[in-house]
Amino acid sequence: MKQLIKEIQSEFQNHFTGNYLLVNSPGRVNLIGEHTDYNEGFVLPAAVDKSIVLAISANDTQTARIYATDKEQLYKADISSEIKKSDKEWPNYLLGVVDQLRKHGYEVGGFDCVFGGNVPIGAGMSSSAALEGGVLFGLAQLYDLEIPPAEMAQIAQKAENEFVGVQCGIMDQFVSLNGKEGYALKLDCRSLEYEFYPFKRDDIRIVLCDTGVRRELASSEYNVRRSQCEKGVSVLQNFDPDIQSLRDVELEFLLAHESDLDETVFRRCKFVVEENKRVLQACNDLDKNDILSFGQRMYQSHAGLRYEYEVSCDELDALVDIAWKIEGVFGCRMMGGGFGGCTINLVKEQNLDHFISEVSEQYLEKLGQKVKIYQMKVAGGTHLIHNSEVSINAQTSS
């Protein structure tokens, strides 16, 4: 991390002048609760120790000057009046935040910003939410904006929905901004109330296995799933007008109305209703420190995502099938929107080396491709980087 921070500082000094704030904005894992956020249900993600780092300062103009270290590109945008979308994709993650801040009644002026990170891109670890939350947090600090935590997450989510054009739910932005070191965050995606559950055991590692698959399909199919859930709700409302979303549907009620629903819509709804329940049960498991039951629910979640919600793919299924047979794996499932990206695995510390070599070997054998493996620690949410994390020559203004 120190190396990354140093690189961002040095790029800031190459492109801009003066003091700046340094912000660390983390990626996330999701332990359980997939495709439940936009159904107003529950999720159990955690922020991790892979982040986007930003150096940011106010520049006394009405221009946003932003530099992406991975792309080695500088972008300038006039923000004196209505914010215009860029025809490049990456600046829109930042400009969308400025646009949403203004729409929520918060005034910000021009700024200089350099950012880069070590969150694997496109792997389902929410590098985009980390970037949105990071620039939002930095601007709120620079312009003394007092924005409540839930509204921060809503602003970042809306930036992605409206400026980037991805109809994501609120989970990623919320946990990236509000995560806590050593804890998973249970979020009620309707009320936006949240609770922390300790998730720190020296004997268990969080390991992500990256298929390397990045599919365009993900975004269009994501929207199809959303509308299938809405379709289900609109039919079920005919039998109970109090239902506002799948969050309000009990499994028995759904089963009783199976024949009223289109067959595919029924399966989508069934997965969401069951997954929602699994999150609550998984939180009970954590309360009881019952990691075996927790892990079993992860496998059940994957089975539902594979057969009922149909957002998995051969590569993800192969990784879960492999992990299932390896000793010392408590649980494994695909993570995030699906159609590629990573599986999340909870692995016994003492079996870690064996796990890594078995998965690598068997994945190569089954699919003829290499799997990338990342180990994650549960970390804190978006924050100003402390002086102790910074190299001595820093010109930070924190």
Judged by CB under 6 A, which stretch of 14-22, 31-39, 48-56, 372-380 contacts ligand GAF?
Answer: 31-39
Q: Does 169 bind ligand GAF (CB under 6 A)?
A: yes
**17-25, 105-113, 141-149, 164-172 -> range binding ligand GAF (CB under 6 A):** 164-172
Choose the catalytic residue: 49, 78, 99, 172. 172
Residue 315 Cβ vs ligand GAF, minimum distance, rounded to whole Å: 17
Tell me the two tokens of residue 219.
């975004």
For residue 35, say whether it is annotated as part of any ligand binding site.
yes
Which 172-191 residues touch ligand GAF, going by CB under 6 A?
172
Q: Is 172 a catalytic residue?
A: yes
Q: Tell the smallest beta-carbon distance from residue 181 to ligand GAF (Å).
A: 22
Binding to ligand GAF (CB under 6 A) within 326-345 occurs at 336-337
Which residues have CB under 8 Å from 6's CB, separation 6+?
Answer: 391
List of residues 6+ apart from 53 with CB closer than 8 A: 1, 4, 5, 8, 22, 23, 24, 25, 115, 116, 117, 134, 385
Find the binder of ligand GAF among 22, 26, 34, 204 (CB under 6 A): 34
Taking contact as CB under 6 A, which single stretch among the options 52-60, 138-146, 163-171, 326-334 is the one that binds ligand GAF? 163-171
Is there binding between residue 346 and ligand GAF (CB under 6 A)?
no
To the nearest 10°, the Cα dihedral for 272, 278, 283, 286? -140
Short-list 143, 206, 146, 199, CA closest to 375: 206
Binding site annotation covers 60? no
CB of 336 to ligand GAF, least distance (A): 4
Q: Which stretch binds ligand GAF (CB under 6 A): 32-40, 198-206, 256-264, 386-394?
A: 32-40
Bridge-based pairing of strands 329-334 and 204-210 is unpaired
Look at the block and give the residue holding tokens 């499994």: 251
DSSP percent split of the chain into helix, strand, coil, nearest 5:
45, 25, 35
Question: With respect to ligand GAF, which residue has the nearer C-beta, 77 or 298?
Answer: 298
Q: Would you give the end-to-end CA distance of the chain in angstroms?
A: 18
Q: Which residue is it, tokens 């992990």? A: 323
Q: Which residues contact 313 (CB under 8 A, 6 or more apart)?
A: 211, 213, 215, 338, 339, 340
Q: Is 122 annotated as a binding residue?
A: yes
Contacts of 35 (CB under 8 A, 6+ apart): 225, 271, 272, 275, 305, 309, 311, 337
Tell whether residue 34 is among the known ligand binding residues: yes
Residues that constitute the known binding site: 34-37, 122-128, 160, 222
Among all residues, which ones are annotated catalytic?
Answer: 172
Residues that constitute the known binding site for ATP: 122-128
Residues that constitute the known binding site for substrate: 34-37, 222
Binding site for ligand GAF (CB under 6 A): 34-35, 37-38, 168-169, 171-172, 336-337
